[in-house]
Structure 1
């Protein structure tokens, strides 16, 4: 039996998206062609609902607005922490996959969900 943990953005992020859609009403209703302004809040809402990571027995599946990519456990060489705590999966093929939603502070949770396949280094001791 396969177990999968889904890590997604908090749904409260849709509140500012709804506010954006409400603020877009005067501009979008000005004429027929300005209705395309509603595409921006729609795209942001779809991004909030879709982007995330699935951690399963077979590997990590990264979902973005337009697609998804699975990195199987044997293909995972490591995780790179970029500026501002953004995470990138580094594959054995040398490619990198941006991990949405999860930040460096979430690495212990990701390590736990991976079943020991991802290790989190211990923080340096105070004497070093």
Structure 2
């Protein structure tokens, strides 16, 4: 079985994603947009099952997106998470108009750790 994404959340407010083991995804762990006042904390992201571990395409542990129909996320806190990967992967990808335009309070990430047993991923620009 190929699990591509653990959680795909579009819209929502005032909730917490806490104490989860998010494992064996071939692509993103969390794929989210249009959120308000959300906390993502104390989760484990790792043990991925990528078909091609050397290909960084569509592999983020946490990804925020917007598009023509999704509002920017705001009031999001990411803290205390552990990221572990043996393939090329970004821990957190933020494509969010508020964040892009300089509102650093829209999404804050603190006190997370990263463990890897291979070469560090090559950063990839947001679309």
> Which bracket does the TM-score occupy, shorter chain normalised?
under 0.3
| Bigger helix share | 1
State TM-score, norm by structure 1.
0.22
Does 1 or 2 have the higher relative contact order (CA < 8 Å, sep 6+)? Answer: 2
| Bigger strand share | 2
